Structure formats: C-alpha cells, structure tokens
Amino acid sequence: MNTEPQNNLINYNILDHSHETAKNTVVVNWLLGNLCNFSCSYCPEFLHSGSVEWPKLEKLENFISDIDKHFEGKKVYFEFTGGEVTLYPHLLELCDFIHDLNHTVGIISNGTRHYSWWAKQKNRFDHVCFSYHAEHTKPKKFFNVVNTVAGEFRTHVNIMMNPDKWNDCITVAEKITNECENVSLALQPLMEGLGEEETVFPYTKEQQEVLDRQHHLYGSKIKWTKSFDIPRGAMKIIDTKIDKSEISSAHRLISNKMNDWYGWKCYAGLENLVIDWDGTILRGWCRVGKEIGNAYKEYTLPYRPVLCNKNFCHCNFDIMCKKEKMNENN
C-alpha cells in the first residue's frame, strides 16, 4: 500500500495505528484525584482544588486486576494524572503492582518534586510527561528535573503556551531542545472552557505561526541516543477504495478539519479507557457511549466498538484509537 506523505490529507475511511505496538496496547487514562500544588489561571478549579479524596490502593489494585484479565494477551499502559499525581501517597506501590502484572506505567506531572526524588524512580515509571506552567514553575529546577531523568525512561515535555508568558515559554522550549537528549517536546496550546465548550486561546498571528511550525522549530531537532516503546504515536489514514494511505498526527488531522467522525465505528473502550476522578469509567474523554460503570464499585467492561455521536474530536487521547467509516451496508 502506498504510504507517501502529502501536504493535503487524503480522503479516508479508516483511521488506524501506524505501528504494531500501538495496535496491541490498551491505554487507560486515569484521573486519580484533583489535589495540586499549582493553581494555574487557565486550569478549572475542580482540577486543582483537592476536594476529592485519593482512592484507596486496594480498590485500584482490584480494578487493575480485572483490566489485566479482560484484555488478556495485550499490553496495558496505565497513565495517571491529576491534579499533581506525585502527591498521591501510594503512587509508588501502585506502579510496582502494575509492573508485577507485566504492564506499563506513565504519569503526567508538573515536575515540582526534587530531582533527587525523580532519580530514584527510574525503575518505577516507563513514561513521564512533564508539563511546564510559566506562572508557577521555576525554570532552572524544571530543567534539572528533566535533564536528570532523560534517557532513564521515555520523557516528554508539554510547554503550556500561556500567551501572557510567551517569551518565558519559548526560552524554556529552546533550552530543553538545545541541551537535553532523549526528550520529546511540544508547545501545547491552551484551551478556554475546559470541560465544557472548549476553544483555543486567542493567540496572535505570530504566536499561531510558531505553534503551527513547532515540529520544524523543535520536534525535528530532538537528539535521540536511546529508543523507547511508545503506546501511541502517529496514526495511519487509509482510503481502501484506492488502496492508499499516509501517516498523520492528531494535530494535523485537527488542522485540516478532518476530525469529524460522526456515525463512524469507534474503538474507544476497546483500545482506550478513561477513569474519571470519582471512578466513573468512560470509553473516552468525549464521553461517547454510555458510562461503563464505576471502577471502585460496579462495572461491565465493553467488548464491542461504539458509533461516534460527536461532530468533532479535539482530544489527542480520543483521536488516537481506531475508527472505521460505516458504509451503506453496515
């Protein structure tokens, strides 16, 4: 099948993973709680207020054991977020439990733990996504943390592109790109109305151009001396009618306004799962399909894909699972 890249995306009827590791991996995105040591102006209060009690370790382990059985034969990647997930008192025990089941663990963190703490955790995490928040983060400390763990496990940095702190964000992005090895980096646009009717922050024309060209400016300059398995990556769009395909990122699909899968068969719930802060189990953050149950109470995990009922999809997590356009005979 032809996989030549193009500037304009082909019309397609299948969205699938571009590599076998992703096809055989289930990703569970788990919001453990909402306690955070930051209170960013662009972050809704419910994501950092600490109003939710941390779940008991036993309940987490029981649900993870059921996930292990339900997806037998597949690797499961558990990605924990918050709040600030490193504040969870049983995080390290939880990671050990998952590794004992031969699955993998990632976390999303603001990186404020001391770099000596991170240095001790190189066998606990398979992936860490650090988020840089210019309102609160100390650039020198953040850089030291990233530089300490780079190469120990798969490391990614999201620079949260605050328009009011734009120059500070660019300075940190350039320092990491130029001085760190084995660290991927993205300039992350901020969203207004998070959790409701979400729209991208109003960036200037010049700022938007930087965001659009970020792969050329930063991504293409990453220095890799080690390789790591990744549970998700670029997707493959396929037109089965003309036997043609090409590789595309989630961002590119969004930019080309090719992220409307209304009426398509979506494999969310079979390849991805979401656990919300109260234990609610969802197929994706888009909440397609009905709630599956509660991870800390009762649930029945799905066996079949679902029909998409959304007019657009802008969440990378939700985009990066298989989708098939329904034909007239389906």
Note the pLDDT of residue 200: 74
Which residue has 């034909």 as its token pair? 327
Note the pLDDT of residue 150: 92
Q: Could you tell me whether strands 25-31 and 104-109 are parallel, antiparallel, or unpaired per DSSP bridges? A: unpaired
The domains of the chain are located at: 19-221, 235-324
Closest CA to 140 of 107, 166, 176, 187: 176
Which are the contacts of 272, defined by CB distance < 8 A and separation ≥ 6? 26, 27, 28, 29, 283, 284, 317, 318, 320, 321
What is the rounded distance in angstroms from the CA atom of residue 210 to the CA atom of residue 40?
23
Sign of CA dihedral 16, 18, 24, 30: negative
Note the pLDDT of residue 253: 85
Report yes or no: 277 and 35 within 8 Å, Cβ to Cβ. Answer: no
Which residue has 């409307």 as its token pair? 260
Distances (CA, A) of 264 to 41, 260, 329: 36, 9, 13
Is 129 in a helix, a strand, or coil? strand
- Long-range contacts for 190-197 (Cβ within 8 Å, ≥24 apart)? 190/42, 190/160, 190/161, 190/162, 190/163, 191/42, 192/42, 194/42, 194/43, 194/44, 194/47, 195/44, 195/46
Is the N-terminal amide bond of 83 cis, ω within 30° of 0? yes
Note the pLDDT of residue 8: 66
What is the rounded distance in angstroms from the CA atom of residue 160 to the CA atom of residue 255?
19
What kind of fold does domain 19-221 have according to CATH?
TIM Barrel (3.20.20)
pLDDT tens for each residue of the chain, 330 residues long: 444 344 467 889 999 999 899 999 999 999 999 999 999 888 888 778 888 899 999 999 999 999 999 999 999 999 999 899 999 999 999 999 999 999 999 999 999 999 999 999 888 999 999 999 999 999 999 999 999 999 999 999 999 999 999 999 999 999 999 999 999 999 988 877 655 556 778 899 999 899 888 877 887 788 888 888 888 888 999 999 999 999 888 878 887 788 899 999 999 999 999 999 999 999 999 999 989 999 999 999 999 999 999 888 878 899 999 999 987 445
Is 168 in a helix, a strand, or coil? helix
